[in-house]
């Protein structure tokens, strides 16, 4: 997981060195496509985005900055001024000072946690061991009684001893291990047909005994694909594409997604949020490629984390159209007009109140909301491009839950199995998805990693049954949750795909890794691998 080379500035000289030679205090240059070679405190960040999914569970790349954070006990996913070893830079550039290397890094701490987790016996192994112990004791007692009776009746001592030994040998079922192995092997064959690969044979029986399933959210309970859920214009939520045609035109033109065809199938390459916009448009017969041919991009102002906007300049016959998308609160403040049906008029206070209320409504449903605006100009002026815009509408997106996962959760509850969601995403997102899946009924059943920090392990053992959703958690929290359930006598199955999940996967009675999105570290720590990354597969297999 470590980067082999690091681009550093040492003694005022820019050079590349092996990552293992980094020391605290070195200044590291971060560029798109490069792995972060150590834990860094960022001192410069220009549109910097870093993919931290394997470490934190964050489903999309994280925007980074160099600002000071005043809070204490900040979850890893919220440390915006830090870059962590083994994560990848997906956009922009930056500079960071090395603060931790090797085993002192966050990834190193996880490696240390994995090495300290001891292998535990499965329920089947414990039962066989218990059965073997009692069978042995029973055989010895019976043999002793037989020997005593024979000697009491005056039979030869040596013959009675040999008879007793023969009886003891006959009482031990030598074929039991072979029979158990064959039965488990048959189970492995059946599970392969259900998209589950068994790495450790006893896991077949353990899965059937599970009473609690702790599941990751992204990709397991959800589709791991951002999807447009709501489209809003001044006329309300759009049911007809004609009501939102201009909105979708802007969403496609102010968009860096690449649309390619492979073997007759359309494939979208780009940021998950932007590809969701293009995918939705294609489903309503608006093709980005056709729009770009009609209205080619001639210039742009790239997205900036400070501006929170992206702007493109598209040629429209003799005019130039400025298309803008970004954060609703920021973009709305730059709009002087609004598109009302097919007419453009000045925006008023009532419009602003309605738009802000709609944005809040979408946010409460855990939707990621983008606003869209435009204006027509005679020539490009980047300094004034994002002022006096015409507001067009909002689009809300989410990584939706799998339909089959809803049914699987229902089956879990019917069978007396407790489904629990553990995720690195924000609480509002986790709660919304959990409610839709039926995992959670009340907000009181959800807790964050920061809140978990204030609870001792003894308290957690008592309260763990009260919680169904854990949001913004760290690797240490996941291990604590598993330990708390086990302390209550439950058989715990834990799913995960990231490096951060590995300690909990190893600690659980049965660790289940994702075959598609899972890291090699998580697969190595797991007992079972799902080839379809689907929560429903766990329930069907159990």
Catalytic residue ranges: 216
CA distance 138 to 159: 21
CA distance 405 to 182: 31
With H, G, I as helix, E, B as strand and everything else as coil, classify residue 72.
Answer: coil
CA distances 91 to 202, 271, 499, Å, are 44, 10, 22
* Cβ(355)–Cβ(391) below 8 Å: yes
Those residues whose C-beta lies under 8 Å from the C-beta of residue 348, and which sit 6 or more positions away, are none
The tokens 């016996």 sit on which residue? Answer: 121
Query: What letter does residue 4 receive in the DSSP assignment?
Result: S
| Max Cα-Cα span within the chain | 121
The tokens 């008592």 sit on which residue? Answer: 462
The tokens 């039965």 sit on which residue? Answer: 183
The tokens 């010895």 sit on which residue? Answer: 140
The residue among 48, 49, 47, 23 whose CA lies nearest residue 37 is: 23
Sheet containing 469-471, strands listed edge to edge, beginning at the edge strand earlier in sequence: 196-198, 528-530, 510-514, 492-496, 212-215, 418-422, 469-471, 446-448
Side-chain-side CA neighbours of 486 within 13 Å: the count stands at 18
CA distances 498 to 11, 227, 430, 483, 532, Å, are 37, 23, 17, 19, 16
CA angle 397, 400, 405 (to 5 degrees): 175
Tell me the β-bridge partners of 96.
Answer: 28, 42
Strand bridging mode 196-198 / 510-514: unpaired
Those residues whose C-beta lies under 8 Å from the C-beta of residue 338, and which sit 6 or more positions away, are 234, 344, 345, 346, 347, 351, 390, 391, 392
CA distance 251 to 324: 9
* Cβ(312)–Cβ(303) below 8 Å: no
The full DSSP string for 141-175 is HHHHHHHHHHHHTT--HHHHHHHHHHHHHHHS-TT
Query: Which run of H or of E encompasses 87?
Result: none
SS3 of 109-133: HHHHHHHHCCCCCCHHHHHHHHHHH
The tokens 């830079």 sit on which residue? Answer: 89
The tokens 């890291």 sit on which residue? Answer: 519
The residue among 106, 97, 37, 55 whose CA lies nearest residue 519 is: 55
């Amino acid at each position: 997981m470590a980067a082999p080379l690091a681009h550093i500035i040492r003694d005022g000289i820019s050079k590349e060195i092996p990552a293992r030679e980094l020391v605290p205090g070195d200044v590291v240059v971060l560029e798109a496509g490069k792995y972060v070679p150590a834990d860094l405190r960022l001192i410069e960040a220009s549109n910097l985005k870093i993919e931290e999914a394997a470490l934190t569970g964050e489903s999309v790349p994280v925007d980074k900055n160099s600002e000071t954070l005043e809070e204490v006990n900040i979850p890893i996913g919220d440390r915006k001024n830090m870059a962590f070893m083994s994560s990848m830079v997906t956009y922009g550039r930056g500079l960071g000072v090395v603060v931790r290397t090797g085993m002192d890094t966050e990834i190193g701490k996880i490696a240390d946690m994995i090495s300290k987790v001891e292998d535990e016996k499965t329920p089947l192994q414990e039962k066989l061991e218990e059965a073997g112990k009692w069978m042995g004791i029973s055989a010895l007692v019976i043999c002793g009684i037989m020997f005593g009776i024979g000697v009491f009746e005056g039979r030869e001592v040596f013959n009675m001893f040999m008879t007793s030994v023969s009886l003891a040998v006959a009482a031990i079922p030598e074929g039991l291990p072979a029979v158990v192995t064959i039965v488990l092997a048959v189970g492995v064959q059946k599970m392969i047909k259900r998209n589950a690969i068994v790495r450790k044979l006893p896991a077949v029986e353990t899965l059937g005994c599970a009473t609690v399933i702790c599941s990751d959210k992204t990709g397991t309970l959800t589709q791991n694909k951002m999807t447009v859920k709501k489209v809003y214009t001044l006329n309300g939520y759009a049911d007809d594409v004609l009501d939102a045609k201009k909105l979708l035109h802007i969403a496609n033109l102010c968009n860096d997604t690449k649309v390619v065809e492979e073997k007759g199938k359309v494939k979208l390459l780009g940021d998950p949020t932007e590809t969701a916009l293009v995918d939705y448009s294609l489903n309503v017969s608006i093709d980005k490629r056709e729009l770009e041919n009609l209205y080619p991009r001639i210039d742009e102002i790239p997205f900036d984390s400070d501006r929170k906007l992206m702007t493109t300049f598209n040629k429209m016959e003799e005019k130039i159209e400025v298309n803008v998308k970004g954060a609703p609160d920021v973009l709305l403040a730059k709009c002087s007009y609004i598109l009302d049906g097919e007419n453009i008029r000045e925006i008023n206070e009532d419009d602003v109140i309605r738009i802000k209320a709609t944005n809040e409504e979408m946010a409460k449903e855990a939707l990621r909301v983008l606003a869209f605006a435009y204006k027509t100009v005679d020539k490009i002026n980047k300094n004034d491009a994002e002022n006096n815009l015409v507001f067009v509408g909002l689009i809300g997106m989410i990584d939706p839950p799998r339909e089959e996962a809803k049914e699987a959760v229902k089956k879990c509850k019917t069978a007396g199995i407790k489904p629990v969601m553990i995720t690195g995403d924000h609480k509002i997102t986790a709660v919304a998805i959990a409610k839709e899946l039926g995992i959670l009924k009340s907000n009181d059943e959800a807790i964050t990693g920061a809140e978990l920090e204030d609870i001792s392990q003894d308290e957690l053992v008592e309260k763990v049954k009260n919680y169904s959703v854990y949001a913004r958690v760290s690797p240490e929290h996941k291990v604590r949750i598993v330990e708390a359930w086990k302390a209550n006598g439950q058989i715990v199955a834990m799913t995960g795909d990231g490096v951060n999940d590995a300690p909990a996967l190893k600690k659980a009675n049965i660790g289940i890794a994702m075959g598609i999105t899972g890291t090699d570290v998580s697969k190595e720590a797991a007992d079972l691998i799902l080839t379809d990354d689907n929560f429903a597969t766990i329930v069907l297999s159990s």
